[in-house]
């Protein structure tokens, strides 16, 4: 199973995660513990091709509003980390995180 296929499966199961950008972002942050906007964008582009900065902003904002991720550090250049993930969401994302760790 590819990272994109795993992300699509999780997205179908959870509304906030109903977008591949968000599921891969969360999987990345679980695997790496934290990441800057640039780190996340660069990783998404390795999996999905070019990422519009406005699109990334929208999806990060959705994850922040739902407390799935937390921006830390400098407000101008935050570093994101996992926030309050329900256990069933974390469990669903574990397959993506494992694929990212193995890559």
At 8, is the pLDDT very low, low, confident or very high (cuts 50, 70, 90)? confident
Rounded distance between C-alpha atoms, residue 19 and residue 90, angstroms:
16
Q: Please provide the average confidence, as pLDDT, over all residues in the chain.
A: 92
The residues facing 81 across adjacent strands are 34, 70
Give tens-digit pLDDT for 11-43: 766 778 889 999 999 999 999 999 999 999 999
Rounded distance between C-alpha atoms, residue 4 and residue 34, angstroms:
20
pTM equals 0.85
Q: What domains sit in the chain, N to C, each tagged with a CATH number?
A: 3-102 (1.10.10.10)
- 8 Å CB contact between 43 and 80: no
Residue 22 pLDDT: 95
Residue 13 pLDDT: 67
Longest Cα separation, the chain: 37
Least confident of 45-49, 51-55, 72-76, 85-89: 85-89
């Amino acid at each position: 199973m590819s990272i994109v296929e795993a992300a699509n499966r999780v997205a179908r199961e959870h509304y906030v995660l109903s977008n591949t950008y968000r599921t891969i972002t969360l999987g990345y942050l679980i695997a790496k513990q934290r990441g800057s906007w640039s780190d996340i964008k660069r990783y998404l582009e390795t999996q999905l091709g070019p990422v519009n900065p406005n699109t990334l902003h929208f999806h990060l904002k959705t994850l922040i509003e739902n407390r799935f991720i937390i921006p830390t550090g400098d407000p101008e250049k935050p570093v994101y980390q996992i926030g309050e993930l329900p256990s069933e969401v974390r469990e669903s994302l574990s397959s993506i995180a494992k694929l990212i760790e193995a890559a």
